[in-house]
Structure 1
């Protein structure tokens, strides 16, 4: 018993000496004096240098760009280039760009109601009777021909008044011996005026369809702007998703490198009899697990690359370009004042503007439906000058000289039985108006909920990033300590693997926190409108991005 303990004593002493040396080195530096730098070396590759009592700005050393053997074959892409490509090529945005032009045609349709109409009517008739019915017919077989035309121009005015100017002429011939003018020409020039007194009366009602069409066009323009903002946000998120996928892949690769290093060390120790075969098997299993996660990370890169291409409208079945993006920024983020965020969102939010526009349009539609419940009562008045001569031109001269005339006046009244259809449409319009008012309140609620959520996510994301950075620093030191204890024979390899897993989890948690801060900042800026300013835009200089696709210049996508 004593001899066995004596045999293990040199190994125990060596372990205690290594642990003491590691402790002194981490406290005073490698030379035994006070360290010249606050940055101790780490056994874990792929990480920035940390101490538990420090909170560096960049807790993960991602470098200036992601690197591997395939990165040089990938197309470099900045965030601004990604946004520009999305604004030019995004298919959902392309679809929405046509809507304002379509709605503009509805304005033309409604305004066309007040355009003049020109009508021309021609008629020719011939009559041959087999015999006379009276001696006054002047022929044993009466024959007659008649040709006439009417040309009119009518126009509707905003009060509902319809004015019609018309002229007409007729040529009549018969074989009657009693005809004084044979053939004879009659000329007519007249005017007819119709004015609605109940249904359809007034400028407001008659111009309401144009106002409704204008409102629909304004809404389509607002929806286009909303789609532009969503496209900018979605392209930002897709861009940072790809960047996060690269960062995750780099972290997984560092895990693979460390797993290989641990396996090599264990094999060397096994060859001299320091450790058991079980430790080597655990190291091999650890390497296999790290390589499996590396495969998943590479698949995530391909997926995020496709999603980014999808925002550009450039995703194909094959031969898709691969992008090289910038690393995730880890700079400190300042949380904006919440009151300023609310003020900006209320004045900027396009859903609110769309809801207000919808209320205005529903009011107009209700006014039209309410007017249709009235009975139709129209005042008619007309007058015409007549001329009758043996020659065509003489008949018009006679009409201009007012040798003959007619005039008329009257009322037209129409009353649908029960007004069932009209009252049903009136009720529908009233309910739609109430719905739009409720929708406005709902949009306000959704906006406030989204603002509060985005603001809290940004706040908590910043705090979480700080917390995960501290956790990462502690796990780095914990792993270094466990590795030193294992090298000294004072800890099992399972303890080292557990420390490595804890470090991997801390590293992934920090990376997720960095990503969450970036995405939360983007989502909040989308709500308060600062996303335009952050990307160098405003509604005044978006220019062709608000045009329909046929009017846009060709995108320079030769790199894609």
Structure 2
């Protein structure tokens, strides 16, 4: 049998590492296979000419769905809620139970004990419930039971049994007294939970703002590409006209060469505009997490919504009121000040001397058996005590901590005031920018209209031979620039509104988004 066990042990020592290595190899192979499958899906999607049509709402939904920053921030409130539960656990009762048997043999110190070697057996079964109230009061409710047997000849009952229900109360009068001080950790933890909610809200708002901005930027570069192609088309049309004129001897070779150079230059501009357009498309895919989707990562994105010029009335005072009411960072800063007040109060209390009132009351019974001991537990046999505990800390550590908390509060107040100033300046800047962008749209629209009318008029003059080729190309450039300026004005106006909403803390409200509690 022993040889069999040794053989089994040897096999385990030899083959166990090999089995473990095989398991690791299989796991690595499975992971590699999964990566290859994912890679194959990406490659297959890249070979397809897919088109993804999305609107602004879809863009926001995609951005919020799998954003890593949001996923991280979503966990934070749950962690802070666990901190609340941990702090509340200080006021949960604790049940304790103890069972001990003590047997002792010793040389008798008294002849009346009746033996040369004295023996005693002490068996105890005790249970208690202890805890603390929010006022600082500590309580302990005990039920003490004992069985005692010895060689003593003058012990009335041998063995004897005791039973004693007892309650002990300790009430602080200075240090540790008060609901505010004792619930400080709970209140701070609850406030930290509110701060984590505000931080999560701020992250969501920032993600929405970035996704909308990326959407509008992509619109701009799409329009810029379309305008570049239209400008190229105008130059090519002019080139065809000039070729025919040159054949008839109506223009010089210099005019023809200038037109050809302009067409080539605008073709380069189309290529550059296309590059920027694709970069903006990739930026949109990145912020919306489409780049991680093996089905649509290489799809062509077509936008449903177009920028509108919807004038919104903005008022500085109203915007500031909204900012101080809805901004998550301002809300979080106010909570931080409350936490610091609580910590100051707790530190001040910790510097006080300890003066505790203590009191206990119990009933005890003693009998020849346990039932008899229980029957004697009544008001005839009481056990009570009262007293005072007093201690003063030797040193200035607690006082230094109190001073430290007050200085930290002073720092926080200065930071809070600076935050208020920054909010006022930021909101005022955003309000001004919205109004300026609104005027820019009006001016750009009028400029585009006039440049279009002028270009049409100059085409007629050119057909009549009253305008040179150089001037005509210049009119085309001015028209294209006015068209691009108008698109840019629309985009910048909408982005200015996005930034104003963010500065006021109204991004969620304006986009009709409600966060889960």
Match of 1:215 in 2: 191
Contact 1:139 1:175 in 2 (8 A): yes
Tell me the CA shift for residue 193 of structure 1: 0.7
Q: Distance between the aligned counterparts of 1:429 and 1:236, measured in 2?
A: 43
Structure 1 position 299 matched with structure 2 position 269: no
Q: What is the aligned length?
A: 467
Matches within 5 A, 1:8-47: none
CA RMSD of aligned residues (A): 3.0
CA gap 1:337/1:140 in 2 versus in 1, 3 angstroms: closer
Secondary structure (helix, strand or coil) at the match of 1:418 reads: coil
Tell me the CA shift for residue 165 of structure 1: 0.8
Structure 1 position 105 matched with structure 2 position 75: no
Q: Distance between the aligned counterparts of 2:428 and 2:450, measured in 1?
A: 33
Q: Distance between the aligned counterparts of 1:322 and 1:424, measured in 2?
A: 64
CA gap 1:311/1:274 in 2 versus in 1, 3 angstroms: same
Match of 2:223 in 1: 247
Contact 1:243 1:326 in 2 (8 A): no
The counterpart of 1:257, out of the listed 233, 238, 244, is: 233
Match of 2:214 in 1: 238
CA gap 1:204/1:532 in 2 versus in 1, 3 angstroms: closer
Matches within 5 A, 1:428-447: 428-447=404-423
Higher relative contact order (CA 8 A, sep 6+): 1
Tell me the CA shift for residue 201 of structure 1: 0.6
Contact 1:328 1:514 in 2 (8 A): no
Matches within 5 A, 1:277-426: 277-316=253-292, 319-320=296-297, 321-326=299-304, 328-331=306-309, 333-398=311-376, 400-402=377-379, 404-420=381-397, 422-426=398-402
Secondary structure (helix, strand or coil) at the match of 1:315 reads: helix
Tell me the CA shift for residue 492 of structure 1: 5.2
Q: Distance between the aligned counterparts of 1:378 and 1:193, measured in 2?
A: 10
Contact 1:89 1:314 in 2 (8 A): no
Q: Distance between the aligned counterparts of 1:402 and 1:340, measured in 2?
A: 72
Structure 1 position 546 matched with structure 2 position 516: yes
Q: Unaligned 5+ residue runs, structure 1?
A: 1-71, 548-560
CA gap 1:313/1:182 in 2 versus in 1, 3 angstroms: farther
Moved more, 254-263 or 514-523: 254-263
CA gap 1:416/1:242 in 2 versus in 1, 3 angstroms: same
Match of 2:161 in 1: 185
Tell me the CA shift for residue 198 of structure 1: 0.9
Q: Distance between the aligned counterparts of 1:232 and 1:477, measured in 2?
A: 40
Q: Distance between the aligned counterparts of 2:391 and 2:331, measured in 1?
A: 41
Match of 1:14 in 2: none
Match of 1:472 in 2: 448
Contact 1:224 1:546 in 2 (8 A): no
Secondary structure (helix, strand or coil) at the match of 1:335 reads: coil
Tell me the CA shift for residue 200 of structure 1: 0.8
Q: Distance between the aligned counterparts of 1:439 and 1:213, measured in 2?
A: 22
Tell me the CA shift for residue 237 of structure 1: 1.6
Structure 1 position 90 matched with structure 2 position 67: yes
Moved more, 175-184 or 153-162: 175-184
Q: Distance between the aligned counterparts of 1:305 and 1:146, measured in 2?
A: 84
CA gap 1:303/1:147 in 2 versus in 1, 3 angstroms: farther
Tell me the CA shift for residue 199 of structure 1: 0.7
Matches within 5 A, 1:59-74: 73-74=50-51
CA gap 1:295/1:394 in 2 versus in 1, 3 angstroms: farther
Contact 2:328 2:505 in 1 (8 A): no
Contact 2:235 2:473 in 1 (8 A): no
Moved more, 450-459 or 333-342: 333-342
Tell me the CA shift for residue 116 of structure 1: 1.2
Q: Unaligned 5+ residue runs, structure 2?
A: 1-48
Q: Distance between the aligned counterparts of 1:373 and 1:291, measured in 2?
A: 79
Q: Distance between the aligned counterparts of 2:122 and 2:465, measured in 1?
A: 125
Match of 1:117 in 2: 94
